[in-house]
Amino acid sequence: MTEHKTGYVAILGLPNSGKSTLLNALLDQKLSITTAKPQTTRKRILGILSEKNFQIIFLDTPGILSPSYLLQKKMMEDVDLAVKDADLIILMIDTFDDPRGEKLLNQEFVKKFILNLKKPKLLVLNKVDQLKQEKVIELIKYFESQKLFKEVIPISASLNFNIKRVKDEIIQFLPEGSKLFPDDQITDASERYFVSELVREKILEIYRDEVPYSCEVLIVEFKERETSKHFISAEIVVERDSQKVIIIGKGGSAIKKLGEVARKSIEEFLQREVFLELRVKVRRKWRSDENLLKSFGYTKKD
């Protein structure tokens, strides 16, 4: 009889290193939103990969940073919880931005907490498509000589390079155990949540500077209809009136464009046509407001 393995795997790294891209590559499905801007992921995203002899429960996390407002503090609480839940840790380095991992490995939380954990740790060197092969070999040798990690794996999450090796290495270190989720379950969050995330992804792509960081997206209505398009109404919460003006744009042009691209991406995700309504609401300083953050789902139950 072959053994069955099950475990939680936290994917950790600095903002923009490619953690969510790796989660999607491992699941072979777009679950977590990814953009060229840092701080895209704000809550931990759970993604389940089930095969006959194993079940890997991935925890994609917000990029590690030193928080300067309450929302960022909540984001780091999610990182903390993921680390605590994890049986195995994947630390990801963006080899283009931080080839020797100095930024990541010298980050307080990483240096003092993560590196000292007894849990097995894999180091994933991401974005090697941007590097010459000799440089990649040099980096692997450099990190292997540090002996901090069970394995050092060069990958390109966006080009799907070496993703299978990541999976195979994870399985090696996974504890024995039976499945915790049904085989056909891919996540623990609702469709509504992923729809709100897709709107936020498009906000990050379209708007600049502080604007996308001041936005939260809430689904206020999600009507499933058998005979016509689903009706989805989303509220974009901003911190200031001036941001509301920017989101809407001249004569409503910006929000119209946002609605179009977000709708397309939601339709792709849900595999059906939808009608998407967007409204903008000002909630002053929501990013520093404990109660509002709580109502937006930023406080953990446990």
Ligand X SMILES: Nc1nc2c(ncn2[C@@H]2O[C@H](COP(=O)(O)OP(=O)(O)OP(=O)(O)O)[C@@H](O)[C@H]2O)c(=O)[nH]1
Coil, strand or helix at 155 = coil
61 binds Mg ion (CB under 5 A): no
Contact 193, 209 (CB under 8 A): no
Stretch that binds ligand X, among 37-45, 133-141, 176-184, 275-283 (CB under 6 A): 37-45
| Given 29, 115, 158, 283, the residue binding ligand X (CB under 6 A) | 158
Number of residues that bind ligand X (CB under 6 A): 25
Q: Judged by CB under 6 A, which of 7, 13, 47, 120 binds ligand X? A: 13
Nearer to ligand X, 44 or 263 (CB): 44
- Counting contacts by CB under 6 A, is residue 72 touching ligand X? no
CB of 147 to ligand X, least distance (A): 25
Contact region with Mg ion (CB under 5 A), list: 20-28, 160-168, 230-238, 286-294: 20-28
Rank residues 40 and 162 by Cβ distance to Mg ion and give the closer one: 40
Residue 157 in the binding site for ligand X (CB under 6 A): yes
Do residues 40 and 91 lie in contact, with contact meaning Cβ atoms separated by under 8 Å?
no
CA–CA gap between residue 38 and residue 61 (Å, rounded): 12
- Residue 3 and residue 176 in contact, taking contact as beta carbons nearer than 8 Å: yes
- Residue 3 has which token pair? 């053994």
Report the chain's terminal Cα–Cα distance, integer Å: 37
CA distance 186 to 153: 25
How many residues belong to the site for Mg ion (CB under 5 A)? 4
Distance, CA of 194 to CA of 107 (rounded, Å): 30
Query: Which residue ranges make up the site for ligand X (CB under 6 A)?
Result: 13, 15-21, 34-36, 38-41, 62-63, 126-127, 129-130, 156-159
